Chains A and B, each alone.
Chain A
Amino acid sequence: MSYAPSPAALEKIEGTIALYPEKPAALLPVLHIIQGESGFISAAAEAWAAAKLGLRPVRVREVLSFYTMFRRAPAGRTTLQVCRNLSCALAGADDILGLIREKLGIGPGETTSDGAVTLVTAECLGHCDHAPCLQVDGVDHGPVTRETVAALIEELKAHV
């Protein structure tokens, strides 16, 4: 297995690295770019990023596994992030999450068998005045209701 970013991603990566006084500081942004393009970060990509930044691959693994937004395996076409911290919990986040689980037939951390949706939970998305809230591929939604969530899921399922 090997990894190489697209020319466009490579250019972005190199531009990003140039911003920082020390190369390793660009690790998070570089991983974001890789994941943005590939959907996840493979071991080969970790090794590639390490070489690019003059790091040992184990340093990349340390970082990758620390932050919740990085993925080491492919995810669904859409990632649904459901907030369940206090403000959202008070507004019925558990109920919303239950509905989503039921509709998708998967639990948090899982991907539907058709590869459409990956479901994850989040600890406070900073959108508390729009509770209960969720993010669809990083886009904020909220306050959501059972109805809007049901509609959203139909839409995501249809989206290929």
Chain B
Amino acid sequence: MSGLKRVGLTIDGLKVQAAEGTSILKAAEQAGVVIPHFCYHPALEIEGNCRMCVVEIEGLPKLEPSCSALVREGLVVRTSTERVREARKDVLAFLLAEHPLDCPICDKAGECRLQDYYDRHGLTASRMVEPRERREKKLAIGRGLILDRERCVLCTRCVRFLRQMPGTGELGVFERGLRSEVGIFEDAPVDNGYSGNLVDICPVGAITAEDFRFKTRAWFLARKPSVCPHCGRGCAVTVESVSGYPLAKGERRVYRITARENPAVNGFWICDLGRDGRRDIDEGRHARLMKAGVPVAGLSWQTALADVAAAIRTVPGPERSAGIAVVLNGRLTCEELALAKRLFVAGLGLSKVYFADRKPGSADGLLLTAERLPNGRGVLEAGFAPRLPALDEIAAADVLLVFGPYLSEHLAEEALAKAWAGIPSKFLFSAHEGPLDRLADIVFPVAVPAEKSGTYINVDGTRQTFAQAVKPAAGVAAESAILAGLANLLALDAGGGDAR
């Protein structure tokens, strides 16, 4: 719809241009004027039910909802006149009259629109003296989601989302009038791969996730942007963590992963797999260097890396190509892949450079892709021709460097163990525990994507650079540091020329 005419209007004294057919709310937002709202969501059909977004339009007797009123040439719109503020206050007062005001025990506190607007409009206690309706406060609606009907403001964002986005439509509104309530049919719960978005889009604390309920308070969380590494889409995410925590076993550091808007990639949503990726950051992680499957007291990174360099050095230059095998993966960033290329292919002249990643799943037609690695395109762009190694290709090596735990997804554990047994030196660089741990001479604990900065290229070729969202634990290093360190050790050793 790029060919649309543009019209000029005035919003709070600002001259604004917007495409014909744009709502006043959107046009205002584009001009930096934020109009409070509950039910409007840029990706969902307009419902106009909350009436929070009303504005004054010169020449019209009534206030108009800005989410559904469209821009017109010459309109003069005011978004915070006395009348508008009164109307908003009335809407808030109505909502609060039917609200439990249990913010002290509500997970949404701190990021709840109702609470936020209530504070901003300086509302005082309810003028209603009658008791409000009592409603179900802890209804399990599926996928670990809990619905609190007393907190619900009936914006129907959840209902519309499920109908429009995953298209599963498990939620509906039952009854009418003040008795209206959101619900599922009998025992047909919310069950789709995008359920977690309901928590993000509910403007109040009516839908919460069991995984997050009562675990912390929103305002304790540090929010950092990152890119989801769980499939080829590379959705924009926010990693929400409690900063300053040491990573001890079982301790929760990342409380949740939420969707971050990126129109070019994921719109407003992420899938549940990506959301559940918070476990990938905190659970089953390696935190210390291990030898033969057990942590070794006093082993330092320098010594351990020196062991790798030493092993590489034992293979004479002409034999390296056949004698050293490396297994990389598509979770490495473009920068890391470039380093790897320089070190292993250009520097050491290796030909046995393989890739092992998570097994592909099935694409769901929405965001989730069949490939379950974030940087498949980056691998190609770095000039690799990714290929899984056959068992005997590994078994023939004198030195084996494996990045990531994924080999064991493709090759039977016993066969792997047998093959590895014959390799004189084998090193594993992995963020997560896995069957390979006991097979490697040394296991190096490496960072997960959220702990790194770098670039991924998604399935559509969109290049996304991200910064570190959470700090890795003390004993954990990013592959970039490892690759650079190795290059350093080898280059020094080879006098800067031999290795090449």
- In the complex, A65 has a CB within 8 A of chain B: yes
Q: Which residues of B contact A43 (CB under 8 A)?
A: 185-186
Of A47, A58, A60, A65, which is within 8 A of B175 by CB?
A: A65
CA–CA, A66 and B185, complex, Å:
14
- In the complex, B304 has a CB within 8 A of chain A: no
In the complex the two chains form, is A57's CB within 8 Å of B175's CB? no
Interface of A is mostly: helix
Residue interface mask A55-78, B partner, CB < 8 A = 1:
011111110011000000000000
What distance in Å separates the Cβ of B8 from its nearest Cβ neighbour in chain A?
40
Residue interface mask B172-192, A partner, CB < 8 A = 1:
111110000001111010000
In the complex the two chains form, is A58's CB within 8 Å of B176's CB? no
CA–CA, A65 and B172, complex, Å:
11
Q: Which of A47, A60, A65 has the most CB of B within 10 A?
A: A65
Number of interface residues, chain A, beta carbon within 8 A: 12
In the complex the two chains form, is A61's CB within 8 Å of B176's CB? no
- In the complex, B169 has a CB within 8 A of chain A: yes
Q: Which residues of A contact B169 (CB under 8 A)?
A: 56, 58-59
CA–CA, A62 and B183, complex, Å:
9
CA–CA, A58 and B191, complex, Å:
13
Interface hits, B286-322 → A, CB 8 Å? none
Q: Which residues of B contact A60 (CB under 8 A)?
A: 185
CA–CA, A146 and B227, complex, Å:
75
CA–CA, A97 and B171, complex, Å:
38
In the complex the two chains form, is A66's CB within 8 Å of B186's CB? no
What distance in Å separates the Cβ of B158 from its nearest Cβ neighbour in chain A?
12
In the complex the two chains form, is A46's CB within 8 Å of B175's CB? no
What distance in Å separates the Cβ of B390 from its nearest Cβ neighbour in chain A?
48
CA–CA, A62 and B163, complex, Å:
14
- In the complex, B56 has a CB within 8 A of chain A: no
CA–CA, A57 and B170, complex, Å:
9
CA–CA, A103 and B300, complex, Å:
92
Of B171, B176, B186, which is within 8 A of A57 by CB?
A: B186
Q: Which residues of B contact A56 (CB under 8 A)?
A: 169-170, 185, 188
CA–CA, A65 and B175, complex, Å:
5
Q: Which of A43, A47, A57, A61 has the most CB of B within 10 A?
A: A61
CA–CA, A65 and B179, complex, Å:
10
Smallest CB gap from A68: residue in B: B176
Q: Which residues of A contact B186 (CB under 8 A)?
A: 43, 47, 57
Interface hits, A45-103 → B, CB 8 Å? 46-47, 56-62, 65-66
Q: Which residues of B contact A46 (CB under 8 A)?
A: 185
Q: Which residues of B contact A65 (CB under 8 A)?
A: 174-176
Q: Which residues of A contact B172 (CB under 8 A)?
A: 58-59, 61-62
Q: Which residues of B contact A59 (CB under 8 A)?
A: 169, 172
CA–CA, A43 and B171, complex, Å:
16
Smallest CB gap from B181: residue in A: A65
What distance in Å separates the Cβ of B42 from its nearest Cβ neighbour in chain A?
25
Of A47, A58, A66, which is within 8 A of B184 by CB?
A: A58
Q: Which residues of B contact A61 (CB under 8 A)?
A: 172, 174, 183, 185
In the complex the two chains form, is A66's CB within 8 Å of B188's CB? no
Smallest CB gap from A44: residue in B: B186
CA–CA, A61 and B182, complex, Å:
11
What distance in Å separates the Cβ of B171 from its nearest Cβ neighbour in chain A?
7
What distance in Å separates the Cβ of A41 from its nearest Cβ neighbour in chain B?
13
Q: Which residues of B contact A47 (CB under 8 A)?
A: 185-186
Interface hits, B214-251 → A, CB 8 Å? none
Smallest CB gap from A65: residue in B: B174
Interface hits, B1-39 → A, CB 8 Å? none
In the complex the two chains form, is B173's CB within 8 Å of A62's CB? yes
CA–CA, A108 and B172, complex, Å:
28
CA–CA, A17 and B201, complex, Å:
36
Q: Which residues of A contact B183 (CB under 8 A)?
A: 58, 61
Residue interface mask A92-118, B partner, CB < 8 A = 1:
000000000000000000000000000
CA–CA, A18 and B58, complex, Å:
49
CA–CA, A65 and B384, complex, Å:
60
Ordered by A's residue number, 27 sampled pairs between the chains whose C-beta atoms are within 8 Å are A43-B185, A46-B185, A47-B185, A56-B170, A56-B185, A56-B188, A57-B185, A57-B186, A57-B188, A58-B169, A58-B170, A58-B171, A58-B183, A58-B184, A58-B185, A58-B188, A59-B172, A61-B183, A61-B185, A62-B172, A62-B173, A62-B174, A65-B174, A65-B175, A65-B176, A66-B174, A66-B176
Residues of B whose CB lies within 8 Å of any CB of A are 169-176, 183-186, 188
Residues of A whose CB lies within 8 Å of any CB of B are 43, 46-47, 56-62, 65-66
- Which 7 A-B residue pairs are closest in the complex by CB-CB distance? A58-B185, A58-B172, A62-B172, A57-B185, A65-B174, A65-B175, A66-B176
Given pairs A43-B185, A56-B170, A58-B185, 9 additional interface contacts (CB within 8 A)? A43-B186, A56-B169, A57-B185, A57-B188, A58-B171, A58-B172, A58-B188, A65-B176, A66-B174
